[in-house]
């Protein structure tokens, strides 16, 4: 039995699909079903005898402890988090409540349950906490990629809240002996990502015939990781991770936001000309979807570059990214085209601030 917190969200739901499709694992999903999560993310597995959904909040310590006693998981993969940087800049309260307080209460409940296990169960149990490369701040243009020795230097409230959660996870291991591990992930993309994030937002706005906002000069560099490769890394690591260890996972596909968006627009152009996309209001732009890109004022505290070393993860598991960025973007575009009802349900709940584009120059 594997317990996944936040299992109805983007990465969590993809992990559930991966586990049920590729392993014999029984999975318990604990999710509060906030705006970014949805039971439809778990279709067609809802009701299957290997998937157990539990509606609940990681901040509810007694609820978590009750579920641990009920299901007796061999491991927890902790993915429940508020994760959108722009929202954290607007108001950080939910990020501290969920990412910091929620993680602390999950640790408290897990420790109280774990303390009562037989010695062999205590030794084999793992709590794998999924963090982000953003806790390390911005890399200089010529700096080596982040590794396990990189100091923390978060630039925004989201990253700061995740950094605080990381420190709590490490403290519960060092103080109480709870067998925790941390995995810092690069930027994920793929199916079921909430449409306030860069890639699904761009797809949504191009399909609607709208302009696409690009922060600043668009030259911020990220290391893009397909969510399926991330799920593989999590499951591989779960089998070998040593308590107290830290690992990083990147996609090995660094590119600027501008390069990413132009490739995404090429994929959308190809889909339109192949007849897989209906013409948006006003028709498809003659210059291509990239003509919809518009530079807007940069985000406060916007990190310039991220890159992660996979060395320790590769040494421990042999893991390597398998999905090239071009292929992953093509498949991601196709998933959103194949699931218009999913996108429509999210779009109706997306805050207007992430659907509007300030007037600016072509990127």
Can you give the CATH number for the domain in which 66 is found? Answer: 3.40.50.720
Nearest-angstrom CA–CA distance, 82 and 35: 10
- Whether the CB-CB separation of 131 and 171 falls below 8 Å is answered with no
Residue 37 in domain:
yes
- Please state the domain count of the chain: 1
Residue 345 in domain:
no
Selection from 145, 144, 163, 143 nearest residue 153 by Cα: 163
pLDDT at 361: 37
Catalytic residue positions, numbered: 133-134, 158
- Whether the CB-CB separation of 172 and 180 falls below 8 Å is answered with yes
For 140-190, the DSSP string reads PTTPPPB-TTPPP---SHHHHHHHHHHHHHHHHHHHH---EEEEEE-EEES
- Averaged pLDDT, groups of 10, the chain, 363 residues long: 97 98 96 94 96 98 97 98 94 96 98 97 98 97 95 97 98 98 97 94 93 96 97 97 96 93 97 93 94 95 96 96 96 95 74 39 36
Q: Where are the beta strands (DSSP E) in the chain?
A: 2-5, 27-31, 51-55, 75-78, 126-132, 180-185, 187-189, 212-215, 221-226, 246-249, 254-256, 293-296
Task: Enumerate long-range contacts of 69-74, CB under 8 Å, 24 or more apart.
Answer: 69/113, 71/1, 71/3, 71/28, 72/1, 73/1, 73/2, 73/3, 73/28, 74/1, 74/2, 74/124, 74/125, 74/126
pLDDT at 348: 60
Non-local CB neighbours of 213 within 8 Å, separated by 6+ positions: 294, 296, 357, 358, 360
Residue 55 in domain:
yes
Tokens of 134: 């953003």
Residue 174 in domain:
yes
Element (H, E) at 262: helix 257-273
Nearest-angstrom CA–CA distance, 207 and 363: 18
Residue 346 in domain:
no
What is the domain extent for residue 241?
Answer: 2-193+225-254+305-322
Residue 340 in domain:
no
For 64-85, the DSSP string reads HHHHHHHH--SEEEE------H
Residue 268 in domain:
no
pLDDT at 253: 83
Residue 129 in domain:
yes
Selection from 240, 264, 78, 265 nearest residue 162 by Cα: 78
């Amino acid at each position: 039995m594997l317990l996944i917190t936040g299992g109805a969200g983007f990465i969590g739901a993809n992990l559930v699909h991966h586990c049920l499709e590729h392993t014999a694992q029984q999975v318990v999903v604990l999710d509060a079903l906030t705006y970014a999560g949805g039971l439809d993310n778990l279709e067609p597995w809802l009701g299957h005898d290997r998937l157990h959904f539990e509606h609940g909040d990681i901040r509810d310590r007694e609820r978590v402890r009750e579920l641990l006693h009920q299901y007796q998981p061999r491991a927890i993969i902790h993915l429940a988090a508020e994760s959108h940087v722009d929202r954290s800049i607007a108001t950080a309260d939910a990020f501290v409540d969920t990412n910091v307080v929620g993680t602390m209460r999950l640790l408290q409940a897990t420790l109280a349950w774990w303390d009562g296990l037989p010695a062999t169960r205590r030794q084999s149990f793992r709590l794998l906490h999924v963090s982000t490369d953003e806790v390390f701040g911005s890399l200089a243009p010529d700096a080596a990629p982040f590794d396990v020795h990189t100091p923390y230097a978060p630039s925004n409230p989201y990253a700061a809240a995740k950094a605080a959660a990381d420190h709590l996870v490490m403290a519960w291991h060092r103080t109480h002996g709870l067998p925790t591990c941390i995995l810092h992930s690069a930027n994920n993309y793929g199916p079921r990502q909430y449409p306030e994030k860069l890639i699904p937002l761009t797809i949504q706005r191009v399909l609607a015939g709208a302009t696409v906002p690009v922060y600043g000069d668009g030259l911020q560099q990220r290391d893009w990781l397909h969510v399926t490769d991330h799920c593989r890394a999590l499951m591989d690591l779960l089998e070998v991770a040593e308590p107290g260890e830290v690992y990083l996972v990147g996609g090995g596909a660094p590119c600027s936001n501008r390069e990413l968006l132009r490739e995404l627009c090429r994929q959308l152009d190809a889909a339109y000309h192949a007849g897989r996309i209906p013409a948006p209001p006003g028709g498809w732009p003659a210059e291509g979807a990239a003509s919809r890109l518009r530079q807007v004022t940069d985000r406060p505290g916007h990190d310039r570059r991220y890159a992660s070393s996979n060395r320790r993860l590769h040494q421990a598991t042999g893991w390597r990214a398998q999905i090239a960025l071009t292929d992953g973007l093509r498949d991601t575009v196709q998933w959103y085209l194949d699931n218009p009802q999913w996108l429509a349900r999210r779009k109706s709940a997306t805050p207007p601030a992430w659907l509007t584009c300030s007037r600016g120059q072509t990127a």
